[in-house]
Chains A and B, each alone.
Chain A
Amino acid sequence: MNINATLLNYYQLCHRKMWLHYHAIRMEHTSEVVYEGKLIGEESYPFRADKNEELEISLPLENEKVVLTAKIDFFDAKRGIVHETKKSAAKEWAHVAQLQFYLYLLQKNGVEVSHGVIEYPKLRQTERVILGEADVLRIEASIEKIREVLEQEQCPLKLPISKCKTCSYFEFCWVGDE
């Protein structure tokens, strides 16, 4: 079982979304929000588009049943800084968690890291992210819970509809009788 940052992110938002995504029932291709994010990530720092800084990394856990994987868009190896660009117009906790996940993976692989930086081109701001001891424990606990949910035969229940309005799975989950 591969667990990546997307699943970690979805885990915090909605277990059902995470379960479906893991089983390749994907809706992201229908979402303009996702497409916009992709464009902003690709186009915001044209001078930095150096493919060499992309980094794929993985970490098998004890019994090797679970492998943590990450695709980092920009890792500045010299300074040990992980960069992540977000289209969001507001800072979100999930962004921090994603970078901490990257830092955790790098550290466990024996890579020298200093900290992470979230870039918000729309806000013209950046946010510095560090990985503390408490964060490490939290990541490890989440991964255990993610594994449990993903191993369920049944798809988890949906959230209250009020939380679903902007989700790309909204129609999938809520279409019922006309």
Chain B
Amino acid sequence: MKKSYYLFNPGRLSRKDNTLCFVPVDEDGNEGQPRYIPIEGVDNLYCFGSLDANSAMYNFLGKNHVSVHFFDYYEHYTGSFMAKEYLLAGKMQVEQTRHYLSDKKRMVVAKTLVEGAAFNMSKNLKYYQGRGKDVAKQLGQIDSFTPLIANAGGISELMGIEGNIRQAYYGAFGEIINDFDMGNRSKQPPQNEVNALISFGNMMCYTVCLDQIYHTQLNPTISFLHEPGARRYSLALDLSEIFKPMLVDRTIFTVLNKKQLQASDFRQDINRCVLKEGAKKVFVQAFEERLKETFKHRSLGRSVSYKHLVKLECYKLQKHLLGMEVYKPFKMMW
């Protein structure tokens, strides 16, 4: 199976025949031991450190449909190198656009996405309720907002309901997480440790969705819940709504409650909280393990990883847009 590679160390990545070669470079400019990465095994690259590379390397990656995602010093997602589209399908594109253009059709998909997200959020809370956390109040709030989704008259109203649900949901984080307070959700920039992790994790989730969409015929810029193309690849934002509770939030709870990350792993910069180098590695590794985790998929009768599940979600969306099957969002059952 293809793997994601995370480049934290600065260095030079180059093409060596038909293999990738990474040569780390230390602070004094000394080259370290080169590491060779067979291209067949590379799914995508995440680049956190500073990277030297030339166009031959990007041509090579492009030919092999490998994307590179870049993050800046403050662990913001700054952009991706995406290889040329290789699965263009006019019919798919037309149907996707048609579903965006018709308010009625667009609302059907957007509501389904919010419903899926709400279900998965409350599932997370119920899981922790079962482990003795008092989140009844927040669960009650989510339950009272959820029926409003079906009656939402427009996208902005739907977004409002989604926002209320999410606010109630985040309100439970302080109870679930042992040693940290979350306070209000703060972003751009995040003000404390939990918010910093949420921002970082959501970004990782977004890139996973983007990668999976890339390997289907869906167009990543045409979205339903979020406004298309306004920022980033908005279909990836749509999809990540469904998966954030399962992939990101659960990972945050685990790394904090198991004390894999502690207060000393964060740095308080001017008006923002930042993960230290080591903290990023810990989180990315936990997140990657989460993605690799498998379960038996009921309708397929096969073992499926969480990462692959995102692609399966794309297939379901494709079928909906082609008028083959009504889209039902992935719902966490455990």
Contact = CB atoms under 8 A, between A and B. Distances in A.
The B contact surface, by secondary structure, is loop
A23 B299 contact: no
Contacts of A26: 87, 89, 217
Contacts of A176: 299, 316, 325, 328
B92 A178 contact: no
B298 A175 contact: no
B16 interface: no
26 contacts: A23-B89, A24-B87, A24-B88, A24-B92, A24-B217, A25-B89, A25-B217, A26-B87, A30-B215, A154-B324, A155-B323, A155-B324, A170-B300, A171-B315, A172-B318, A172-B319, A174-B300, A175-B312, A175-B316, A176-B299, A176-B316, A177-B299, A177-B328, A178-B298, A178-B330, A178-B331
Contact of A23 (B92, B297, B316, B333): B92
Nearest to A178: B298
Nearest to B312: A175
A104 to B, nearest CB: 28
A155 B321 CA distance: 12
B66 to A, nearest CB: 14
B323 A178 contact: no
A27 to B, nearest CB: 9
Contacts of A24: 87-92, 217
Contacts of B90: 23-24
Interface string B58-78: 000000000000000000000
A170 B325 CA distance: 15
Contact of B322 (A155, A177, A178): A155
Given A23-B92, A25-B91, A174 B318 contact: no
A78 interface: no
Given A155-B322, A175-B315, A176-B325, A25 B92 contact: yes
Given A25-B217, A154-B323, A174 B299 contact: yes
Interface in B280-301: 297-300
Interface string A23-36: 11110011000000
Interface in B81-124: 86-92
B333 to A, nearest CB: 6
Size bin of chain B's contact surface: 20 to 34
- Considering residues A25, A155, A171, A178, which has the most beta carbons from chain B within 10 angstroms of its beta carbon? A178
A34 to B, nearest CB: 14
Interface in B18-43: none
A172 B325 contact: no
Contacts of B333: 178
Contacts of B91: 23-25
A177 B299 CA distance: 6
Contacts of A25: 89, 91-92, 217, 318, 322
A154 B322 CA distance: 8
A124 B81 CA distance: 45
A19 to B, nearest CB: 10
Nearest to B316: A175
Closest CB pairs A-B (n = 9): A24-B89, A23-B91, A176-B299, A175-B312, A172-B315, A155-B324, A175-B315, A178-B298, A25-B217
A13 B333 CA distance: 35
A175 B324 contact: no
Nearest to B296: A178
Contacts of B318: 25, 172
B312 A177 contact: no
A175 B89 CA distance: 21
Contacts of B324: 154-155
Interface string B299-334: 110000000000010011011001111001011010
Contacts of B298: 177-178
A172 B316 CA distance: 7
